[in-house]
């Protein structure tokens, strides 16, 4: 009797995922047999990808409401008996990076980059494709993300999604785990995951991350193509609607599309769901672009013009002392109740609470303006002061200070402004004298050339662009190279609108602290290019190229997405500061002559600062950030500033010709004839690295040297791990 073919998972496999890994609640079956008949009433198009089972007629049907299911040991025992059932895992506890990339070179590069940052993760793959999936555990409320690369997409699988852990792909290939089934699923912390995703965006992304907000599980079964409500009617009548969905949803123009870094491939990225559709009791807006991830329904309603604000705000005008009191709710004795509604009414009146409460979006800080015109950064003690004012002056009944904190944040958001844009709006008109192109030549004596002028134009349009369009792309940094004593830092500080807009970034601090410190600064110096060592170069590169930071302020409950508002400029005293083989293109180095006296540079820059900014704003509005010419011309000078590889070349060449003994053998063999001979071997034994210190950039550097020395690489399929081995060209 022929052996029955197993299309799905073996009973031992189910036992492993259920008992060894402890994932029973998240397991589901998936019919993996490619030729299994699909029920004519099912919406399934193929087998092997989504939760499914055999119905009473022996045909494949989908599992209803599978996202709400919690599986039991009995369920797993029953499914394990059906050889056609593969194992499907909901990504509620285990998350995954699904690398849907068809180019094997790009896929290998992605795997290497992720592994370099956080170590090896369990890898699910199949023999007929370079595509793979990395599994890990990550706590917290996470949202699905999709990053487009040149060779396909990288998707972060979050709550409400799933992946096939074992079974047969519709192509007929089996899903496998590199090295066998994982004994455990590693746990990542949110900071490490965000760093990995940021790296993927920077190194491999060709567009912004598309984010789908995660929410509670909702019933999407109600589908009415004619569904409408007041907001939907408004969208239809005012030309916001681009298309209609089968469930009544409106696909609309995003009112914030100017902030999107890429155009959508179709009209469905931004949608409005009328009340009662899409699983939403109330009408709901959804935009898949990352720049809209932080927006709520109120933001969309305000932006499309259906309402001007969430609340009626009493304007603070002259003669406030004669304004009547708000309509406070009171007890039977006439005392004002300590409710949050009453607190909000009072805080909207500066004459009653003592301060005007505003949110500076540039600094992402709450600012209190007193009657004397002082602008105070909100501190904890001010909550108590406001609390005291309401109880003393208005005779509020006792209430908790938490009501003050909640109300202050809301009032500040209602009165938000942007201090940097306000400063720009008050600049004098440009006098017509060109300054930005020759800026570095005039003040630091840098040789006047097409390159130095292009760098000046890039730098100033970058500062103006980030001020006017938060998060706009600007991933190159200027580098000023000179001896000490040129007052580089003082000159850089003088470029900023005010001294408070300047800061020097310290890469020895944790990433979250650096993000918090960068808020409210427009000109950021990388002093002496600190962080450019082997351990920190990745963080420096990511910091320069990132367009938005996701950070939770101290003692805050929710994360903020903060588009970048700054430009980076580095200073260094060594002639060859560039050590990053992968990222040197991000630097725009220029040398300050030795005979330049830097004593008066800061004062000279300060005298023309406003005209520099005025010109930069006009140029940016007309041309955007002038990066292309600077990037192109930089290629002609970068080699002069790069650390030379002569020492590595000589060390590797000498080591390759040296003789050593093979393991368990006394025979002398040249190192170049060892099998296997990997880039890591060369770094450890020829250069002197410790194995844990080896990074992908170092291996790429070695690869270039080996190719120059006449070696080629091939993969040894018969050895464990299939290492890439160097051998002499024939």
Per-residue pLDDT of 7-49, as tens digits, reads: 999 998 999 998 888 899 999 999 999 889 988 887 677 788 8
Q: Between these two residues, 529 and 74, which has the higher pLDDT value?
A: 74
pLDDT at 584 > cutoff 60:
yes
More confident residue, 397 or 266: 397
Q: Give 555 or 358, the one with higher predicted confidence.
A: 358
3-state secondary structure of 167: coil
> Where are the strands (E) in 324-443, listed by range?
355-360, 365-370, 375-377
* Geometric angle at alpha carbon 708, from 704 and 713, rounded to 5°: 65
> Residue 501: is its pLDDT beyond 90?
yes
554, pLDDT greater than 60: no
Taking Cα atoms as reference points, which of 492, 489, 521, 494 lies closest to residue 608?
494
The CATH architecture annotation of domain 439-641 reads 3-Layer(aba) Sandwich (3.40)
Structure tokens at 701: 């550097």
Is pTM beyond 0.85 here? no
Per-residue pLDDT band at 171 (split at 50, 70, 90): confident
pLDDT in tens, 128-161: 999 999 999 998 777 888 888 888 889 999 888 8
pLDDT at 229 over 50: yes
Asked whether residue 695 carries a pLDDT value surpassing 60, the answer given is: yes
**What is the predicted pLDDT for the residue at 538?**
66
pLDDT of 53 over the 60 cut: yes
What pLDDT score does 130 carry?
Answer: 94
User: pLDDT of 599-622, one tens digit each?
Assistant: 889 999 999 999 999 999 999 999
Q: What is the per-residue pLDDT for 449?
A: 95
Which pair of structure tokens corresponds to residue 539? Answer: 């963080």
* More confidently predicted of 581 and 623: 623
* pLDDT at 572 > cutoff 90: no
3-class DSSP state for residue 174?
strand
- Please report which confidence band the pLDDT of residue 221 belongs to, taking 50, 70 and 90 as the band edges: very low
Tokens 């329904």 found at: 297
* Model pLDDT, residue 314: 33
Residue 19 DSSP one-character state: I
What pLDDT, on a 0 to 100 scale, did the predictor assign at position 240?
87
pLDDT of the residue at 94: 94
Give residue 224's pLDDT band: very low, low, confident or very high (50, 70, 90): low
Asked if pLDDT for residue 300 goes beyond 70, the answer is: yes
DSSP H or E run through 617 = helix 601-623
* pLDDT score at 219: 45
Least confident of 73-82, 521-530, 636-645: 636-645
Tell me the average pLDDT of the chain: 84
Confidence of residue 663 (pLDDT cuts 50, 70, 90): very low
- Residue 648 is predicted with a pLDDT of 80
pLDDT of residue 614: 96
Greatest CA separation found in the chain? 102
Least confident of 120-129, 235-244, 306-315: 306-315
Q: What is the separation of C-alpha 119 from the centre of its chain, rounded to a whole number of angstroms?
A: 20
Q: Distance (Å, rounded) from C-alpha 485 to C-alpha 385? A: 47
Predicted pLDDT of residue 573 = 83
What is the mean pLDDT of the segment spanning 627-643?
88
Report the pLDDT value the prediction gives residue 215, as an integer from 0 to 100. Answer: 41
Instruction: Categorize the per-residue pLDDT at 206 as very low, low, confident or very high, splitting at 50, 70 and 90.
Output: confident
Query: What confidence category does residue 581 fall into, taking pLDDT thresholds of 50, 70 and 90?
Result: low
| pLDDT (average), residues 715-726 | 87
Quickly count: other Cβ atoms within 10 Å of residue 233's Cβ.
12
Domain boundaries, given as residue ranges, for the chain: 11-212, 230-304, 320-417, 439-641, 646-728
pLDDT of the residue at 533? 52
pLDDT in tens, 441-497: 999 999 999 999 999 999 999 999 999 999 999 999 999 998 877 788 899 999 999
DSSP helix/strand/coil, 360: strand
The pLDDT value recorded for residue 539 is 72
Query: How large is the average pLDDT for residues 312-334?
Result: 62
pLDDT reported for residue 308: 39
pLDDT of residue 278: 75
Where do runs of H (alpha helix) occur along 220-325? 230-237, 297-304
Q: Residue 591 — pLDDT band, cuts 50, 70, 90?
A: very high
Cα–Cα distance, 722 to 546 (Å, whole number): 35
CA atoms in the 13 A half-sphere facing the CB of 214: 15
Q: Which of 348-357, 421-430, 667-676 has the lowest mean pLDDT?
A: 667-676
- Which range scores top for mean pLDDT: 9-23, 285-299, 550-564? 9-23
Q: What is the pLDDT of residue 260?
A: 65
Q: Is the pLDDT of residue 225 over 70?
A: no
Q: What is the mean pLDDT of residues 342-350?
A: 92
Question: What pLDDT shows up at residue 317?
Answer: 42
Residue 268 has pLDDT above 90, yes or no: no
- pLDDT > 90? residue 638: no
What is the rounded distance in angstroms from the CA atom of residue 198 to the CA atom of residue 545?
A: 9
C-alpha 153 chain-centroid distance: 15
What is the spatial distance between Cα 182 and Cα 21, in angstroms, rounded to a whole number? 8
């Amino acid at each position: 009797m022929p052996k029955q073919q197993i299309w799905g998972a073996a009973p031992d496999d189910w036992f492993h995922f259920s008992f060894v890994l402890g994932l029973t609640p998240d397991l589901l079956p998936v019919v993996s047999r490619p030729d299994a008949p699909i029920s004519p009433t099912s919406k399934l198009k193929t087998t092997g990808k989504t939760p499914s089972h055999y119905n009473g007629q022996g045909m494949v049907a989908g599992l209803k409401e599978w996202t709400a299911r919690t599986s039991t040991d009995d369920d797993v025992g029953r499914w394990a008996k059906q050889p056609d059932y593969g194992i499907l895992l909901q990504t509620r506890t285990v998350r995954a990076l699904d690398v849907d990339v068809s180019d094997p070179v790009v896929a290998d590069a992605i795997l290497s980059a992720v592994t370099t940052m956080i170590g090896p993760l369990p890898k699910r793959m199949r023999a007929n494709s370079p595509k793979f999936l990395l599994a890990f555990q990550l706590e917290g409320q996470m949202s699905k993300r999709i990053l487009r690369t040149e060779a396909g997409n990288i998707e972060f699988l979050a709550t409400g999604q799933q992946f096939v852990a074992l079974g047969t792909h519709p192509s007929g290939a089996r899903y496998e785990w590199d090295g066998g089934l994982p004994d455990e699923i590693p746990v990542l912390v949110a900071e490490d995951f965000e760093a990995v995703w940021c790296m993927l965006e920077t190194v491999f992304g060709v567009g912004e991350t598309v984010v789908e907000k995660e929410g509670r599980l909702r019933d999407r079964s109600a589908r009415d193509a004619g569904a409408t409500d007041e907001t939907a009617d408004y969208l239809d009548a005012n030309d916001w609607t681009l298309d209609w969905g089968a469930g009544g949803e409106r696909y609309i123009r995003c009112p914030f599309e100017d902030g999107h870094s890429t155009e959508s491939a179709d009209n469905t990225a931004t949608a409005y769901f009328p009340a009662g559709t899409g699983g939403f009791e109330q009408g709901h807006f959804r935009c898949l672009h990352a720049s809209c991830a932080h927006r709520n329904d109120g933001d969309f309603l305000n932006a499309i013009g259906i309402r001007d604000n969430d609340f009626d705000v009493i304007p603070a005008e002259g003669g406030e002392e004669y304004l009547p009191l708000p309509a406070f709710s009171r007890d039977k004795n006439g005392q004002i109740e300590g409710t949050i509604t009453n607190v909000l009414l009072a805080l909207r009146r500066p004459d009653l609470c003592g301060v005007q409460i505003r949110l500076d979006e540039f600094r992402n800080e709450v600012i209190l303006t007193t009657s004397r015109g002082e602008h105070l950064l909100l501190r904890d003690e001010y909550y108590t002061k406001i609390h005291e004012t309401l109880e003393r002056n208005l005779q509020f009944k006792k209430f908790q200070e938490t009501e003050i904190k909640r109300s202050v944040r809301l009032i500040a958001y209602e009165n938000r402004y942007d201090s940097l844009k306000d400063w720009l709006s008050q600049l004098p008109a440009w006098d017509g004298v060109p300054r930005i192109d020759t800026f570095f030549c005039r003040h630091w004596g840098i040789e006047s050339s097409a390159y130095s002028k292009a760098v000046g134009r890039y730098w100033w349009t970058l500062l103006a662009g980030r001020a006017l369009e938060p998060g706009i792309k600007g991933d190159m940094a200027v580098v000023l190279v000179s001896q000490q004593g040129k007052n580089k830092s003082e000159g850089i500080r003088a470029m900023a609108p005010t001294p408070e807009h300047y800061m020097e970034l310290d890469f020895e601090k944790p990433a979250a602290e650096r993000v918090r410190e960068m808020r409210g600064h427009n000109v950021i110096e990388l002093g002496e290019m600190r962080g450019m060592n082997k351990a920190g170069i990745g963080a420096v590169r990511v910091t320069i190229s990132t367009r938005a930071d996701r950070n939770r302020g101290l003692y805050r409950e929710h994360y903020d997405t903060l588009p970048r508002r700054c430009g980076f400029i580095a200073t260094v005293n060594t002639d060859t500061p560039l050590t990053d083989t992968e990222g040197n293109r991000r630097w725009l180095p220029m040398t300050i002559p030795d005979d330049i006296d830097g004593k008066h540079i800061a004062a000279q820059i300060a005298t023309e600062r406003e005209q520099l900014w005025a010109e930069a704003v006009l140029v940016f509005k007309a041309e955007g950030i002038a990066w292309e010419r600077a990037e192109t011309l930089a290629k002609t000078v970068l080699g002069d500033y790069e650390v030379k590889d002569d020492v590595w070349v000589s060390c590797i060449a000498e080591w390759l010709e040296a003789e050593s003994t093979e393991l368990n053998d006394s025979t002398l063999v040249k190192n170049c004839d060892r099998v296997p001979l990997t880039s890591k071997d060369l770094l450890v034994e020829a250069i002197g690295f410790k194995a844990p210190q080896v990074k992908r950039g170092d291996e790429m550097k070695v690869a270039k040297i080996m190719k120059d020395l006449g070696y080629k690489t091939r993969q040894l399929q018969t050895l464990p791990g299939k290492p890439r081995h160097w051998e002499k060209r024939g």
